[in-house]
Amino acid sequence: MKVAVVTGSARGIGNAIAKALENTGYICVYTDLTPHMEGVDHYIKCDISSDTDRKALVEQVYEKFGRVDILVNNAGVAPTVRMDILDTTSESFLRLMNINLEGTFFMCQLFANRMIKQMPPYSKIINISSVSSYATSVMRGEYCISKAGVSMVTKLFAHRLAEYGIGVHEIQPGIILTDMTASVKEKYKKLIDEGLTPIGRFGTPEDVAQCVLAISGGHLDFTTGQVLHADGGFHLRRF
């Protein structure tokens, strides 16, 4: 029995990841904010910014299955309103830090402490960040900062958990067609058409899911702290 937990899996990238893991034989626990989710065998409502919810999720999963082989920290939000960094509010900033950064950090911590006790451990944690972890966007600076923090969270846990055989990895999606990017689709299409990415198309949630499968399938077992760029080559520095 192999068990995966995927946060933010009611739709978009998280949903594609969860389905891909199920298709390769994992029992997948879907988690999100919606009270119920139709069509899945295992769903637990969880607000990852809530310490109470995070702890309840861990307890419920381990009580039912006794182990977790893959944790995918995918849940995250963009600013409700895009604002210049000269105008960004503390409310918007703290909302993104609480969900994207604090939530990811403590999900890693809680599950890692349980994974260490599994026999054998050999579990994996995968954090979904963004190209915004290094590419500036002054109209959503709080998002960039939160995702840059996720990159460091990945490095820290990769360092700390290596001795236990637990790999920790980061996937940095680029411009992916989801609900989150729907409002700026035409803007991004124009940029892609003008050569923003070497692979000249939008990414899909399934493109990100394939990166998760490379890790979960054991193809990167001699790596940890690895960054997979699901971005059409956006990260390349080009002349």
- 122 is annotated as an active-site residue: no
Say which of 26, 30, 43, 143 is annotated catalytic. Answer: 143
Per DSSP, the three-state class of 159 is helix
Tell me the DSSP string of 98-127. Answer: IIIIIHHHHHHHHHHHHHTTSSS---EEEE
CB within 8 A of 12, min separation 6: which ones? 176, 178, 179, 180, 205
Scan for tokens 């959503």, then name that residue. Answer: 140
176 secondary structure, DSSP code:
B
Handedness of CA 43, 41, 17, 59 (dihedral sign): positive
Active site amino acids: 143
